[in-house]
A and B are shown apart, each in its own frame.
Chain A
Amino acid sequence: MSNDSSQSPPDRRPLIAFAWLWVGAPLAYGLYELVQKATKLFTG
């Protein structure tokens, strides 16, 4: 059995990027739709 303390921890950056993209993409869609609606206050 390998000793965990002798190994460097795996690089988590790809996982962090994926996780933030997972939640960021739908949120960006929601914000885009929101901006579209909000502009009607000034144009409609």
Chain B
Amino acid sequence: MFRNRDGQAALKASVLMSLMIFGVGCSVESVDAPADGSGGGGPALGSGVRRIQVDGSSTVAKVAAAVQEEFESRFTDTKVALKVTGSGTGFKEMIAGRIDVANASRAVKDSELADCAANGVELLELRIALDGLTVCVNAENDWVDSVTVGQLNKIWAAGSEVTTWKDVDPNWPDEKLSLFGPGEESGTFDFFTEEINGEEDSITDNYSASADDNVTITGIAGENGGMGFFGYAYFYANQDKVRALKISATEDPADGVAPTSETVKSGEYAPLSRPLFIYVKKESLKKPEVQDYVRFFLTDGQKMVGDVGYVSLDAAELKIAQESLEAAIAEVTAE
């Protein structure tokens, strides 16, 4: 009704024609990379700083964030792009070849290794710290100091019928047992269920799951009969609110070992001590900035491990990690 049909036809024709000319006359083709070897054509438009891509576990991220801060103040031309998702997501990104370093609070699974191999991604596994998974109770709780793995299993096993503390041990009071912990997406959850219930992801329905460990701590602090588990860093930061239990690997609670940096480091705090890892893509070790970053992580970066509440590796183990790193660097740069 309001259209100018002639004008529209002319417009259509001109657009079509210009598209045809462009389509016939122009093509995208590859040109050689310049001699400076910067990969692409000349200096890229961008911030101009070297960048390292890191993704993965939120547990390891606390160490990684502290290390990153020190690293960036030392190497001012390098930035670390850290995403905090979860160990599993970190490995997925690694398999897709999108990142240089994957943080993980558990060892890589065989299936993930197979996927890496299928995509031509080679991994270098490095232990960077130790964590003692801590089982905590309310600060008012005066009846329990030490638990056995068997008792923990009775409480946390899938289909557990325990509702009060008395149900676990007749010597304990008839106080309601309220359970808190992280959810399925967490590496801590995977590790706890594996060690205590014997099977990953198998756990009682009768507990409140939260991705936020501060919520777990608030829950335990709010219930006299509360109990929950999380990484040592969270206990370390909340010692005034909750109390950590000694864990006994035997039948006798008297053999319980308290989680401290010494017992975690020596491995006495069993079975809930675990190593934390970073997985480096070997291909990325060709880049000097990644070499610098990982080297820094295993040397000066170790000071930060204790600051954020984890346990640093002992000297011998650290040396092994450093040597395997140098060997891997020598291997990829020699090619």
Mutual binders A and B: no
